[in-house]
């Protein structure tokens, strides 16, 4: 079982939190004081949207919003390690005005909100962002740097992304792999999952389940936290296999560095040899070999997930 931490007491648990980040890079957040009405509405809107015919959902096709990478993709439209995922989804990010300088960057700009989803999505993202910044404060203390380190250096204007995923029930003879082995790219992921289960985490002792826990979030570290700590904190591979016989839904929120941030290791970090790190990773690519901004890293990774969007140009 993954370790669990109470959000109100997270900063006081910094030493134990550091151990969890070194050993597995995944943990549960409990006592998060979630807005139950907001979560019920988000779930209802999610179920209603994905029950629509594909032709109707394609009104929000991501290919219509290429630079922003926002909107809907159908089952098989996203790849992991070159293989199509058995899931469909909606992609959102911070809603930026046209005159915001960041609106011209890839993966930034305006969202493609399905009918009735704008307010609930933006409210949920704001709540998750506040939780994520609090977790980063605790992680800073665990690393023995000032509590505002991440907010000052990396998340002063974060790349803030939100996904809604639907994993259809697997058919007869289908292994049910909703998404294969991968790591997340940024700093921190906060995942709300339904009661179906299916999330699996790769630990030093092998793959383990991360079952749903009521009124909790699953938190995991991304590649940039592994880079910042020189490999001391783990960006842990994980995957999803829906064997429930029912549709599965999840709502991951990603709190990542600013798109133009240079993500450097902490002065105290002792970086492991790049070759060793690359050999250990699922994609054989070292996070310690990054040259350039976080945006450079993110675009390189996401282009493999959505190759059609990466090679297309805005109309």
Express each pLDDT in 26-52 by its tens digit.
Answer: 999 999 999 999 999 999 999 999 999
CATH number listed for the domain at residues 4-311: 2.60.120.330
What pTM value is reported for the model? 0.94
147-199 per-position pLDDT tens digit = 999 999 999 999 999 999 999 998 777 777 899 999 999 999 999 999 999 99
Nearest residue to 164 via CA among 244, 278, 88: 88
pLDDT digits over 85-112, tens only? 899 999 999 999 999 999 989 999 999 9
More confident residue, 74 or 170: 74
Mean pLDDT of 222-246: 94
Q: How confident is the model at residue 113 (pLDDT cuts 50, 70, 90)?
A: very high
Residues 251 and 234: their CA atoms lie apart, in Å, by: 22
Percent of the chain with pLDDT over 70: 94
Tokens of 252: 């991951």
Helices 14-23 and 118-142 meet at what angle, rounded to 10?
Answer: 100
278-293 per-position pLDDT tens digit: 766 767 678 888 889 9
Helix, coil or strand: residue 34:
coil
Residue 232: DSSP 8-state: S
Q: What pLDDT is attached to residue 287?
A: 87
Read out DSSP for 150-172? HHHHT-SS-EEEEEEEEEPPPPT
* Token output for 242: 């829906």
pLDDT surpasses 80 at 272? no
| Residue ranges of domains in the chain | 4-311
Calculate what percentage of the chain has a pLDDT beyond 90.
77
275 pLDDT higher than 70:
no
């Amino acid at each position: 079982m993954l370790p669990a931490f109470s959000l109100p007491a997270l900063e006081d648990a910094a030493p134990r939190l550091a151990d969890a980040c070194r050993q597995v890079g995944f943990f549960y957040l409990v006592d998060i004081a979630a807005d139950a009405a907001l979560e019920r509405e988000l779930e209802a809107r999610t179920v209603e949207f994905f029950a629509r015919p594909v032709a109707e959902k394609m009104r929000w096709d991501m290919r219509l919003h290429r630079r922003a990478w926002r909107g809907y993709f159908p089952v098989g439209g996203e790849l992991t390690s070159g293989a199509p995922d058995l899931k469909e989804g909606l992609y959102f990010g911070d809603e930026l005005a046209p005159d915001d300088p960041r609106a011209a960057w890839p993966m930034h700009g305006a969202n493609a909100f399905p009918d009735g989803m704008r307010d609930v999505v933006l409210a949920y993202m704001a709540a998750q962002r506040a939780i994520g910044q609090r977790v980063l404060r605790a992680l800073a203390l665990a690393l023995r740097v000032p509590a505002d380190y991440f907010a000052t250096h990396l998340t002063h204007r974060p790349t803030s992304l939100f996904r809604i995923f639907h994993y259809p029930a697997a058919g007869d003879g289908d292994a049910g792999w909703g998404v294969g082995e991968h790591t997340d790219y940024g700093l921190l992921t906060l995942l709300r999952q339904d009661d179906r289960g299916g999330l699996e985490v790769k630990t030093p002792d092998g793959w383990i389940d991360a079952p749903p826990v009521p009124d909790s979030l699953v938190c995991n570290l991304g590649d940039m936290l592994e880079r910042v700590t020189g490999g001391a904190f783990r960006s842990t591979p994980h995957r999803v296999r829906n064997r429930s016989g029912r549709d599965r839904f999840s709502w991951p929120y990603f709190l990542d560095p600013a798109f133009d941030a240079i993500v450097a290791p902490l002065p105290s970090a002792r970086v492991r040899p790049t070759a060793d790190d690359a050999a250990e990773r699922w994609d054989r690519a070292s996070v310690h070999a990054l040259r350039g901004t976080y945006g450079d890293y993110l675009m390189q990774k996401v282009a493999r997930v959505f190759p059609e969007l990466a090679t297309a140009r805005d109309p």
